[in-house]
Structure 1
Amino acid sequence: MISGCVLFHTVSGIHYRTGLFVVTGYMYELIPGFRLSLAAIRIVSLLSKIEGVQQNDLMNLPRN
């Protein structure tokens, strides 16, 4: 479980920082059960994008 968590954080860091979809796709084929991690990464990245948009909207409201 610990190695899985480290793997998830490492892959999510690579995926989020550099967007290396090829690397995540390659590991997706090699590691069993990686589909759940990939889905979780996509959900987290989607949520972070939504939060970023909401923060930008809130910061832009007083300026307008």
Structure 2
Amino acid sequence: MFSTGQMIFAGLFVIAFATAIFITYQKDKKLHAKNYKGAVWVAVAFFVFIAILFAIKYTLKN
């Protein structure tokens, strides 16, 4: 389906992209810690809300 050259290119691209993302994240780590201090609690609240919706759906279905 894919040629050998395409597979090599895809592999190298994934490695280069992941490396670039990792390096960029390491540079911005302190800035993100300062600006997005409460983001974890927003994510937790979102997942709790979704869990409550599923619980309501399950209890009303039966």
TM-score where L is the length of structure 2? 0.47
Q: Which is higher, the Rg of structure 1 or of structure 2?
A: 2
